[in-house]
Chains A and B, each alone.
Chain A
Amino acid sequence: MSSTRLAGLSGDAVLRGSAHEGDLELHADVVVVGSGSGGAVVAAELAEAGQQVIVLEEGPFIASDDYAAMRPSQSIRHAWREGAMSAALGVGDSPIVNVTMGRLVGGSSALTGGVCFRIPDRVLHSWVHEHGLDELSSQALEPFHRIVEERLGVTEVPPSLHSRSLQLFAEGARRQGFQLKPTRRNIQDCAGIAQCNFGCPKGAKRSVDRSYLPRAAAHGARVISDCLAERILVRDGRAVGIRGRLLRGPKARRHGKVTIHARRVVISAGAWHSPLLLSASGIGRRSRQLGRNLTLHPACRMMARFKEPVLGWKGALQAAFTDAFEAEQLTMVSLFVPPGVLAATLPGFGPEHSRRAEQSAHIAMMGGLIHDEGGGVIRRGLGREPLVTYRMTPRDRAALPRLIEVMAETFAAAGAEEIFLPVLGHAPVKPDQLRHLDLAAIPAKRYECASQHPLGSCRMGTSPERSVVDPSGRCWEVEDLYIADGSILPTSLGVNPQVGVMTMATRIASRLRELPLA
């Protein structure tokens, strides 16, 4: 078989801040803060256009072969932000949402399930007609969507990679009167080991450290890892660089100072950190929208025990989805996680917990997310991480028990013997007990909610009073300062946003290629 796998970013292209002695002062045409889905795309597109690009990444450089060799918990401790324990605190009757993000060269892209959705037409329609962003129509974004998909090698997951867990999900869906659709992913030669979220052990995922960053490096871009951007340098109303610190050791302690002088600055630190960097630099506060409008796609997993062996880890992590409940703001996806992660969420202690864990091979799983309206706020907290609060709108709150209900009924229809609700400490239920449950009465804080899609905290808009960046991604308040990451999306998408973020970044970069440097 001829391999279509891409080689990862070479260590030669990376200056490891942890190993550098002393301070660092460099000059470039463009400095990009963040090396994930937004930053890597901008870096590659601009480097290919002949611009001198420096990419700053807070996290370490872990060669793709190395992180692919890690166990899940090693991946979490070395490559995930805050050991995967970041959270948005629920305000009022809203859940606490565990938000997981990558913190390494390649960003969360290296740790996604590889799912590739275009920005849905219905979402783009709302951006054009409700937010006035005329330039973001389906037709206008079509060429950028296409470029991203070509560069990532996006393909449909073949049925041969469907796990038994997915087949049971599909069987339940069919009996409930809806169908699953195949997922498209940026993965080639997938072996079906359900390990994507921890770095593909087979190197099959075309995350940006295998796709965009090597291209950027081939055109002269330099990546500095272990480098925390602390302030955007502004002179005469124009962004002229970044000041930061190099980081070292497991606790990422600051050591050398970093100054990058640049003619243009692009912030791609993600929805969690881009607003903090702007705020620390005294930028973006005028609109009062900085750090606001955060959406999360709050998600829950549903597990069910079947009589037959399922061995759900044999198969693609995410291979199918359904948008049959789109009108109710719900998207459901096939999903599986390594058994240790699965066992971690089973209720009980002692023999009761262990008996359930030992049934892992019989457990099927799916996930569902809510296309939320936004109610999160990012504020500066103690230390480097923000304090994030999240208040669900009544519509989103009502969608939460509905999501649980639909997923549980689907597995019940597939013949599950026992269903594990994503409710803290809740004992598993038999399928015939489902109709007696009052899910809406369960306090939101008891739901086990997670998110991998923080978006919208520096949103794009048509006026400086209502948004942080203009339709070209430029900060309203400062010349030559752009944001290109999930934080600029005006609303949530209702689907995995990786390709959406990359599409927007490609569009921004295409303009920057044409725009003369100061």
Chain B
Amino acid sequence: MSAANEHSELPPWWVARDIPEVLPPPSRRADRALFHVAQALFTRDQGPPPDARLHWLCLEMREFLAHCGSKARLLFAVALFLATWVAPLWVMRLPPLTLLSHARRIEALDRLEASPIGTPLFALKAVVSLVYYEHPDAARELGFDGRPLRELQP
């Protein structure tokens, strides 16, 4: 979150709040899986997003999940499991997803999303996207300026 404060062009309410938390210890396996899914999801024509941004995302997601109920954490874990261990089968490759080439990973996840069992992946994608596009650099790529329709007088 501290990275967010370096970008003054976004309004203060977008970046100002850092809430100190005691986070659970990281799960390296889950972080690695999430990193690879996010890298595939947010790859642009210019290439994948910077690693630093994805590490920021993983840290944010850890805090996000720490506050969710157990059912929500279970849903997220199921979605990550599907992405890691089932998605590769959709492109005739052996899992895990992390061993696939970057292009294959994108194709595998794309096909899983369109499949009848893609619903949990949608939940994962929605939460991860929501957080990712809050990074000031990612928000800027969307053309978001965070300014209201009318600035109020003090």
Q: Interface on A for B, CB 8 Å cutoff? A: 1, 66, 68-74, 76-78, 81-83, 85-86, 96, 160-161, 163, 189, 191-193, 201-202, 249-251, 311, 313-316, 338-341, 343-345, 347-355, 357-358, 360-361, 381-385, 424-425, 445, 448
Cβ-defined contact, B133 with A352, below 8 A: no
Minimum Cβ distance to chain A for residue B61 (Å):
9
A-B contact list, 6 entries, CB within 8 Å:
A81-B69, A250-B67, A339-B142, A340-B142, A344-B133, A385-B69
Q: Which residues of B contact A82 (CB under 8 A)?
A: 68-69, 71-72
Q: Given A69-B16, A344-B126: A384 and B144 within 8 A (CB)?
A: no
Secondary structure of the A side of the interface?
Answer: loop
Among A66, A191, A353, A357, the residue within 8 A (CB) of B17 is A66
Residues of A near B22 (CB, < 8 A) are 249-250
Min C-beta distance of A51 to chain B, whole Å: 34
B51 CB–A CB distance under 8 Å: no
A to B contact number (C-beta, < 8 Å): 184
B150-A191 in contact (CB<8A): yes
A-B CB proximity, top 8 nearest? A192-B149, A340-B133, A83-B68, A344-B129, A350-B106, A425-B114, A191-B148, A361-B143
- Within the assembled complex, what's the spacing in Å between the Cα atoms of A96 and B15? 33
Q: Given contacts A70-B17, A344-B129, is CB(A360)–CB(B118) below 8 Å?
A: no
Contact of A360 with B68 at beta-carbon distance under 8 Å, contacts A76-B130, A191-B151 already known: no
- For the complex, give the distance between the alpha carbons of A451 and B109 in Å: 27
Set of chain A residues within 8 Å of B76, measured between Cβ atoms: 85
Please state if B113 and A354 are interface contacts (CB–CB under 8 Å).
no
Q: How far is the CA of A315 from the CA of B118 in the complex (A)?
A: 34
Which residues of chain A come closer than 8 Å to B133, judged between CB atoms? 339-340, 343-344, 357
CB-CB contacts of B1-36 with A at 8 A, as 1s and 0s? 000000000011111110101100000000000000
Residues in B neighbouring A383, C-beta threshold 8 A: 69-71
Known: A350-B40, A354-B44, A424-B119. A83 touches B152 (CB 8 A): no
Task: Give bound CA distance, A358 to B43, whole Å.
Answer: 12
Contact B71 A358 (CB under 8 A): no
Residues of B within 8 A of A354 (CB): 42-45
Q: Looking at the assembled complex, report how far the CB atom of B3 sits from the nearest CB atom of chain A, in whole angstroms.
A: 13
Kindly identify which residue among A70, A72, A353 contacts B130, using a CB–CB cutoff of 8 Å: A72
Instruction: Verify A361–B152 contact, CB threshold 8 A.
Output: no
Q: How far in angstroms is the closest Cβ of chain B from A298? A: 15
Residues of chain A within 8 A of B12, CB atoms compared: 69
A314 and B64 contacting across the interface, CB-CB below 8 Å: no
B63 beta carbon closer than 8 Å to chain A: yes
Q: A191 and B152: CB pair below 8 A?
A: yes
- Asked if B43 and A351 sit within 8 Å, CB to CB, the answer is yes
**Hey, which chain B residues are within 8 Å of A192, CB to CB?**
148-150
The 8 A CB mask of B130-154 against A (1 = contact, 0 = none) is 1111100011011110111111110
- Tell me if B110 and A349 are in contact (CB < 8 A): yes
Query: Which residues of the partner chain B approach A69 to less than 8 Å between Cβ atoms?
Result: 12-13, 16-17
Residues from chain B with a CB closer than 8 A to the CB of A1 are: 152-153
Interface residue B41 (Cβ < 8 Å from any Cβ of A): yes
**What B residues does A86 contact at CB under 8 A?**
71-72
**Residues of B with C-beta under 8 A to A73:** 60, 64, 127, 130-131, 134
Q: Which residue of B lies closest to A337 (CB)?
A: B130
- In the assembled complex, the Cα of A1 lies from the Cα of B41 at a distance in Å of 46
When the two chains form their complex, are residues A344 and B125 in contact, meaning their CB atoms are under 8 A apart? yes
Nearest CB on B from A168, distance (A): 15
Q: Which residues of A contact B113 (CB under 8 A)?
A: 347-349, 424-425
Q: Mark B57-100, 1 if CB is under 8 A from A, else 0.
A: 00010011111111110011000000000000000000000000
Q: CB distance B148 to A339 under 8 Å?
A: no
Chain A residue at smallest Cβ distance from B37:
A349
Distance (whole angstroms) from the CB of A200 to the closest CB of chain B = 10
Question: Quick one: given A78-B19, A313-B144, A357-B142, are A189 and B152 in contact (CB under 8 Å)?
Answer: yes
Chain B residues lying within 8 Å of A85, measured Cβ to Cβ, are 68-69, 71-72, 75-76, 123, 127
B109 to chain A, nearest CB (A): 4
Residues of chain B lying within 8 A (CB to CB) of residue A201: 11, 13
Contact of B143 among A349, A353, A360 (CB under 8 A): A360
Which residue of B40, B70, B142 contacts A358 across the interface (Cβ within 8 Å)? B142
The residue in B142, B149, B151 that gathers the most chain A C-beta atoms within 10 A of its C-beta is B149
Closest to A381 in B: B71
Across the interface, name the chain B residue whose C-beta is closest to A62: B19
B72 and A314 contact, CB distance less than 8 A: no
Given contacts A1-B153, A85-B72, contact A343 B64 (CB under 8 A): no
Q: Considering only CB atoms, which chain B residue lies closest to A77 in the complex?
A: B67
Q: How far is the CA of A235 from the CA of B121 in the complex (A)?
A: 49
Known: A340-B133, A349-B110, A358-B141. A424 touches B151 (CB 8 A): no
Q: Given the complex, which residues of A lie within 8 Å of B16, measured CB to CB?
A: 69
The reply to whether A72 and B134 contact each other, CB–CB distance below 8 Å, is: yes
Find the A residue at minimum CB distance from B126.
A344
* Given known contacts A85-B123, A339-B139, A350-B41, A251 and B114 CB-to-CB distance under 8 angstroms: no
Q: Are A345 and B134 in contact (CB under 8 A)?
A: no
On chain A, the residues within 8 Å of B41 by CB distance are 349-350, 353
